[in-house]
Amino acid sequence: MSEHPLIRILVVDDEARQMTALCETLRDHGYETTGYSSSVAALAALKGSKFDLLLTDLMMPELDGIALLRAAHEIDGDLVGIMMTGHGTIDTAIESMKAGALDYILKPFKLSVVLPVLSRALTVQRLRLENAALERRVRERTAELEAANKELEAFSYSVSHDLRAPLRHIDGFSHRLAKDYGAQLPPPAQHLIQKISSGAQRLGLLIDDLLNLSRFSRQPLAKRIVSLATLVEQVLGDLHGEREGRQVEIRPGHLPECLGDASLLKQVFINLLANALKFTRKRELAIIEIESREDSGELICTIRDNGAGFDMQYAGKLFGVFQRLHSTDEFEGTGVGLSIVHRIIHRHGGRIWAEAEVDKGATFHFTLPSAPQEGV
């Protein structure tokens, strides 16, 4: 017994002898055939049985092949149609194709022609069914993701409102306790109050970063031409307070236009430049270089610093959530910022990677789509 079900072919030809001969020939080649000399009877059979392919004559007295094929597709849209005609003109072929026929065969038949046409038609049908199933799964998966995103938005709202308020109370009450009663408490108790306050503040920052990670991962992209030079200038202005009282040398290089979402790309530069300023804090002279170059239709941006650097054997953890390569005693942070950067660059179709050496600085590279040239 065959492991695969037989292909079911409905043969319709008002010339009964020719229809019978074709059915028998195709059975000998492994197909399951059902034949009718009446197009009306064939249409009735379609309503009660499932067929893979309709092989119909073009010229018939009740319903011609084109009318039959159209009616058949109303019953079963997946049915593949092949037209048989002794009037093999371009006009009839085109008309058959318009009606939904995949191919046509000229009479009198040659088995060497018929079998490849059937095989090709059934292959096309299989691909169509597989594509339809894939599209259905994609739609189902998209609906699931949309539902998950809505749940995530609800969770983000809950975190924002339900967790922040208690944290503010903890931080506020610990400050009040230290202010009003600190002098009456022994040093160990004062130290514990300070720990409570700093822990609440750190958890608040962590919640903010997680909300940002969620928001930047879902925010729709609004791509347009973005001037990186202008964007970096704005970011450096926003980070001016991080440079006060320090010797910081910013070395901006060639920063052309790119194609991207300005608000999301601004967050990329905020996170990377804030990191560069943070990890160069112990340098007498902090040097931060910002440059870019074009390569094969994409822009490669680079931010380099002479700060603490890191061990490259841990580079694989760099863009994971909550992954930190330095202790909080050395440098503050939640370990979420680079995850945000990675997701934004990925959503722009780009890549990001880093090079570093302990105590010799770090270099971050990322790619963005170049701005389209005028007239192109």
Nearest to 264 by CA among 221, 225, 208, 303: 221
Give residue 244's pLDDT: 86
**Are 10 and 54 in contact, with CB atoms under 8 Å apart?**
yes
CA 318 to chain centre: 22
Could you tell me where the DSSP H helices lie in 219-354?
228-238, 262-279, 337-347
Cβ count near 179 (within 10 Å): 10
**Are 20 and 42 in contact, with CB atoms under 8 Å apart?**
no
pLDDT tens digit sequence for 121-140: 888 888 888 888 888 899 88
Cβ count near 330 (within 10 Å): 13
Q: Does residue 159 carry a pLDDT above 70?
A: no
Nearest to 348 by CA among 209, 150, 216, 215: 216
**Whether the predicted model's global pTM rises above the 0.75 cut:** no
- Tell me the C-alpha distance between 60 and 12, whole Å: 9
238-242, 333-337, 357-361, 368-372, range with the lowest pLDDT: 333-337
Give residue 291's pLDDT: 93
SS3 state of residue 287: strand
Nearest to 246 by CA among 290, 205, 202, 276: 276
Nearest to 11 by CA among 127, 87, 123, 114: 114
90 pLDDT band, cuts 50/70/90, is low
